[in-house]
Amino acid sequence: MNVPRWFSAMMALILTGFGMSLGCLAASAADVEYIMDPRAKPAIAKAVQLIKAGIAGQQAGYRSLAAYALVKAGEPVTSPLVTDAIKIVAGKVKSDGYHPLDHHYQIYEAGMDLMLLCDTTPGDYKGHIESIVQFILKDQKPGGYWTYPGDAESDTSITQYAMLGLWAAERTGRPIPMAVWAKCAKWLIGTQQADGGFTYHPGTTVGFDGGRSTPSMTNAALGCILVARIYLYPEQPYFGTTSGPKQKKFGLLDDVKASKFLEDVQKRRQEAGDVPSLAAIDQCANRGIAWISSHWTTRSSNAFTSYFYYTMERAGALVANEKIGGHEWFNECLPVVLKSQKEDGAFDDQTTKEAAAALNVLFMTRTTGRIIEKMNIAGGLQTGGRGLPDDLAAASSRKGKITERKPKGALDEMLSDLATADATALEDTQTAIVEKVQIGDRNELLNQMETVRKLATHPNVEVRKTAVWALGRSGKITDAMYLIRALNDDDVDVLVEANAALKYLSRKLAGVGVPESPYVDLPENATDAQKIAAIASWRREALTRWTAWYTRVRPFNERNDLFEFLNRTSE
């Protein structure tokens, strides 16, 4: 089968962890191949080689940016180029907190450092992440923005890198106070120009734009306010989408009670103080989109072109549309980016070669879109990175702050209880297992995988669903075999859970091209015959595609076995 597919003076997104390393997945290269636009692959490859050749000479946030881009282009987290950059970031955290290497560009640097740690090995650097988060939070001005040390002017560009860093931290489960998002959103609404665009230093003529709205700054501001929107109004669908926390994506998501979720969100908003209304945020976003559309361009208004493309990718992804005002932003910008690349992999840009290459890689790999996609599906029990613990059932509210409670009991006992629980105790047992796997010691799960695999064929459908969910969190690529077998289950919820678990295990965030559910395209009044036909068709497609994927990526020493013989697919 065919597989579908970093301003200047310094431009200094799950896996969410659970102790899982990219290096353990043989499928990482295949994932990148699936996500990348075929037209961009040669350019990405040349840019990656340029970054690799020059990363050792990069300083401060530049190095973090370079390593971050390499990871987004498929470089394993275990690569020395990446681990060296991570160690440098870790070395900036002392006993008294985080100390950036470049004082003037400290927020750019902190933002990139935070993004690198959070999107690579967050579980190993929780204390470091906390130190950088505290550094950024302390530097937010009362007006809600961030700027250069000692400057009186607010700064849209610096603000976006603070927001990007905090967003990355929030996605790892380190909640950012809602008041932080609210103050920034209020500042953005207040500094939007009369024409709907945004400028570098709002209210002044300082900087390259002379106080005028520019594409880069409007994209940057739009991205920031839409990130803030996710955490200020987590009960709402993402901007431009119909998908929200109420939409059923995985069977076990139903364990989270909507009333508790809404109660916690409303309490947090009340305690945050002056939170802009959803209508005000959306109006700001729509005015920004209208400015981008009416001032459409595929080129930066200044010499920092690569910076522009990364802001465009972020805005386009957060708007959740392939088009901005009728313009297919990626398809229209990509040819310009490709044309600007030189034979050595560099791009026409005023910033450093490596920084420009890194920013263009982030554009070409559509990294923000992949982050958002992962927020929508990661873990099945996550709330989409919306500022709450992975499982709301494991949360309590103390003085308005959401905290986690540690799961009690041994996992082996829980699994035994699961297999024998009656209907009244089954839900509590499921929740306890989920808590244990999500926030407990992952080694406990690894030690019980044989039991989990057996439970995947248990007579009780709820037991099978829980086992399938746990199989997706093992980190062992060979467990894909058991999940593929689960695609033969008679229960639709087990099928949906198996497909979701395969996405999580494989890191193929977009899956393999089958819908989330066999019923996704059926009308509400579909007949039983239509449902049976839809299930059969969905199952055949899911089995064919996931089997073909697993056959390609499975360990060599386990190939040519009975599974492969029974699941041969025509190429």
Tell me the C-alpha distance between 395 and 140, whole Å.
Answer: 28
Reported confidence tier of residue 376, pLDDT bands at 50, 70, 90 = low
pLDDT 10s digits, 317-373:
888 667 787 888 999 999 999 999 999 999 988 788 999 999 999 999 988 887 887
Mean pLDDT of 303-309: 86
Mean pLDDT of 137-143: 95
- Residue 215 is predicted with a pLDDT of 92
Least confident of 42-51, 123-132, 288-297, 506-515: 506-515
- Residue 227 is predicted with a pLDDT of 94
Average per-residue pLDDT for the chain = 77
Around 154, how many Cα atoms within 13 Å sit in the side-chain half-sphere?
A: 21
What letter would DSSP give residue 177?
P
Token output for 494: 């087990």
Most confident residue range from 158-167, 266-275, 344-353, 491-500: 158-167
Give the contacts of 106 (CB within 8 A, at least 6 positions apart).
Answer: 100, 135, 139, 149
Closest to 306 in 3D by CA, of 14, 51, 29: 51
- Residue 440 is predicted with a pLDDT of 52
pLDDT 10s digits, 409-442:
565 565 665 555 554 455 555 555 665 555 455 5
Tell me the C-alpha distance between 349 and 356, whole Å.
Answer: 7
**What backbone phi and psi angles, to 5 degrees, belong to 397?**
-115, 120
Reported confidence tier of residue 457, pLDDT bands at 50, 70, 90 = confident
- Residue 137 is predicted with a pLDDT of 96
Closest to 224 in 3D by CA, of 123, 127, 146: 146
Closest to 191 in 3D by CA, of 216, 211, 164: 211
DSSP 357-395: HHHHHHHHTTHHHHHHHHHHHTTTTS-SSSSS-S-GGGE
For the chain, give the percent of residues with pLDDT over 90: 36
For residues 256 and 174, which has the higher predicted lDDT (pLDDT)? 174
Three-class SS state of 13:
coil
Closest to 362 in 3D by CA, of 347, 342, 383, 377: 347
Instruction: Considering the domain delimited by 8-377, tell me its CATH architecture.
Output: Alpha/alpha barrel (1.50)
pLDDT 10s digits, 175-227:
899 999 999 999 999 999 999 999 999 988 887 778 899 999 999 999 999 99
What letter would DSSP give residue 347?
B
83: pLDDT strictly greater than 80: yes
H or E element at residue 398: strand 395-398
36: pLDDT strictly greater than 60: yes
Mean pLDDT of 504-518: 80
Mean pLDDT of 393-406: 37
Question: Per-domain residue ranges for the chain?
Answer: 8-377, 429-566
Cα 3 from chain centre: 22
Closest to 229 in 3D by CA, of 269, 283, 185: 185
Residues 330/365, Cβ–Cβ less than 8 Å? no
Token output for 418: 């699961």
382: pLDDT strictly greater than 70: no
What is the pTM for the complete model shown?
0.64
- Residue 569 is predicted with a pLDDT of 45
For the chain, give the percent of residues with pLDDT over 70: 73
Tell me the C-alpha distance between 1 and 548, whole Å.
Answer: 7
Q: How many CB atoms lie within 10 A of CB 180?
A: 21
Strands 93-94 and 97-98: antiparallel
Give the contacts of 166 (CB within 8 A, at least 6 positions apart).
Answer: 114, 133, 136, 137, 176, 180
Tell me the C-alpha distance between 516 and 250, whole Å.
Answer: 9
464: pLDDT strictly greater than 70: yes
- Residue 446 is predicted with a pLDDT of 63
Give the contacts of 491 (CB within 8 A, at least 6 positions apart).
Answer: 461, 464, 465
Q: In three state form, how does the secondary structure of 190-215 look?
A: HHCCCCCCCCCCCCCCCCCCCCCCCH
- Residue 115 is predicted with a pLDDT of 94
Tell me the C-alpha distance between 250 and 406, whole Å.
Answer: 23
525: pLDDT strictly greater than 90: no
Tell me the C-alpha distance between 254 and 258, whole Å.
Answer: 9
Cα 115 from chain centre: 11
Mean pLDDT of 60-87: 91
**What backbone phi and psi angles, to 5 degrees, belong to 145?**
-110, 175
Tell me the C-alpha distance between 130 and 126, whole Å.
Answer: 6
- Residue 123 is predicted with a pLDDT of 79
Closest to 512 in 3D by CA, of 486, 492, 476, 540: 540
For residues 158 and 466, which has the higher predicted lDDT (pLDDT)? 158
59: pLDDT strictly greater than 80: yes
